[in-house]
Amino acid sequence: METGLIPAVRRLISDDDRVISATMIEKKYLSDALGRVIGRAEALVFPVSTAEVSALMTYACRHSIPVTARSAGTNLTGSTVPLTGGLVLDFSRMNRLLEIDTETFTATVEPGILLADFQHAVEAHGLFYPPDPGEKASAIGGNIATNAGGMRAVKYGVTRDYVRGLEIVKADGSVLNLGGKTVKDACGLSLKNLIIGSEGTLALITKGILKLLPLPRESKGAVVAFSSLEAGITAVNPLLMSAPAAIEFLEQKVVALGEAYTGLSFPLSGWATYLVLMYHGESKNEIQERLQLAESIANDAGAKDFFVIDEVESFNRIWQIRGCLVKAVEAVSEQEPMDIVVPINRISDFIAIAHQLEADSGLRMVSFGHAGNGNVHLCLMREGRSAEVWEQDLKTVMAALYRAIIGMGGLVSGEHGIGIAKQPYYLENTAPETIALMRQIKAVFDPQNLLNPGKSYQKILV
């Protein structure tokens, strides 16, 4: 039965078909990409303008209605699950590329524009947007709200490094512009940087002004084989001297899952671990020199094969296999994806601990990730376990893994965010004073606690 909320929301939105009432909301809009936790909402709304978002938020504020933002819903942490009802605002129809400004090397976009569409659009102008998380069907709004990283962060940094300005709608419905098109900004507190990575808990992002670079003229890559994961990981730090744009590591067992999932074949086989290297440069010579340096470093580190990828098509195939791995693991077993990050010189220590825990617990783990950033995706696989045993094993093993990470100076999440999936571990492993300060900041931005309640640094609700 429709409550009074639906007619009120319909009055604020120009088309009725952009307002969906509780019983008609598809489950995917109440969850994340994994779909394990399903929330509840009284209405799902697809705004198309800042004015609509502002009107909706003003109404929500006046009536104390919780609001959960989503852009493409690809997160893996439950951060788009509406835990306390209210409105889900889906930004997928606010997806315009508003401007490419070649004079300031910036683009202005709405939050729902898909990453892949945005990357292609700027590349058509000879420009380049480096942040490149594995999920290209994610949207820029979600990338900003999670401070997404991805493959090329080793050379270019993460989403935060490419956000020059934001237009936001605050919890009281007012619209605020933070930052702008300038390269530098030394004015007051950086509120823009508080919003980036805040997982929809501080404000709604309605526009982003993003920094662009000239598109690299040349790019080429290589796959390097090693007889063990430890050997491959040990080679990563020396290889950083060849200034790669990306260094990804993949174990053979996860490559096999990726091949089965995509039907594509990886260029090398039969070795325990591979590093995939990518180089960007201004000339063929520059790339050649980097590849030669990388080959000599890899050989010194005990590489078993160094395969230069000449064809674009082969390279795309490798990235397709790399990009699908979370889904490839999920296709064979329910899994818990971790995206821990440790200082770059501690990855092999972390992997050794993970292997020991795998042997001790019998819980199968596959790992891959952004070796050049110390950012490891570790998937813990349920396989045949009952729900009860799975939950217990997972708790024990994850608690031990997170303790080890924190002991190494690492963090619970390198790029996916906290959401609800990592919340207990994040709260347990973070100084209470830090969490208290974050909650005070939240109270200033959102005194009624309407925006994405119960996520990340907030009190656990599930």
Binding positions for ligand FAD, rule: CB under 6 A: 33, 68-76, 79-80, 91, 111, 133-135, 138-139, 141-143, 145-146, 148-150, 199-200, 204-205, 326-327, 415-416, 452
CB of 377 to ligand FAD, least distance (A): 8
Distance CA(353)–CA(393), nearest Å, equals 16
Distance CA(157)–CA(211), nearest Å, equals 12
Distance CA(257)–CA(379), nearest Å, equals 12
**Residue placing its CB nearer to ligand FAD in the complex, 205 or 398:** 205
3-state secondary structure of 25: coil
Point out the residue whose Cβ comes nearest to ligand FAD: 142
Distance CA(79)–CA(311), nearest Å, equals 39
CB of 129 to ligand FAD, least distance (A): 14
**Residue placing its CB nearer to ligand FAD in the complex, 94 or 298:** 94
For strands 19-21 and 43-45, give the pairing: antiparallel
CB of 443 to ligand FAD, least distance (A): 18
**Residue placing its CB nearer to ligand FAD in the complex, 304 or 377:** 377
**Residue placing its CB nearer to ligand FAD in the complex, 69 or 254:** 69
Q: Which amino acid is at 40?
A: R
**Residue placing its CB nearer to ligand FAD in the complex, 148 or 378:** 148
**Residue placing its CB nearer to ligand FAD in the complex, 75 or 237:** 75
Nearest to 143 by CA among 118, 125, 121: 118
**Residue placing its CB nearer to ligand FAD in the complex, 28 or 125:** 28
Distance CA(164)–CA(232), nearest Å, equals 37
Nearest to 66 by CA among 176, 206, 207, 201: 201
Distance CA(316)–CA(19), nearest Å, equals 39
Distance CA(364)–CA(357), nearest Å, equals 10
**Cβ(260)–Cβ(340) below 8 Å:** no
CB count, 10 Å around CB of 457? 20
CB of 455 to ligand FAD, least distance (A): 6
**Residue placing its CB nearer to ligand FAD in the complex, 66 or 134:** 134
3-state secondary structure of 317: helix
In angstroms, the Cα distances linking 157 to 149, 162, 186, 349 are: 7, 8, 20, 24
Four-residue CA torsion sign, 294, 299, 302, 308: positive
Structure tokens at 402: 């997170």
In angstroms, the Cα distances linking 205 to 55, 138, 179, 210, 402 are: 14, 15, 13, 13, 31
Nearest to 70 by CA among 41, 92, 54: 92
3-state secondary structure of 72: coil
**Residue placing its CB nearer to ligand FAD in the complex, 207 or 280:** 207
CB of 284 to ligand FAD, least distance (A): 28
CB of 141 to ligand FAD, least distance (A): 3
CB of 146 to ligand FAD, least distance (A): 5
**Residue placing its CB nearer to ligand FAD in the complex, 142 or 281:** 142
CB of 325 to ligand FAD, least distance (A): 7
Q: Categorise residue 44: left if φ over 0, alpha if ψ from -120 to 50, beta otherwise.
A: beta
Which DSSP state fits 64? T
Task: Collect all residues with Cβ–Cβ distance below 8 Å to 135 and sequence separation of at least 6.
Answer: 33, 74, 115, 323
CB of 440 to ligand FAD, least distance (A): 20
CB of 19 to ligand FAD, least distance (A): 18
**Residue placing its CB nearer to ligand FAD in the complex, 150 or 374:** 150
CB of 94 to ligand FAD, least distance (A): 8
| Phi, psi of 193, deg, nearest 5 | -70, -20
CB of 422 to ligand FAD, least distance (A): 13
**Residue placing its CB nearer to ligand FAD in the complex, 267 or 414:** 414
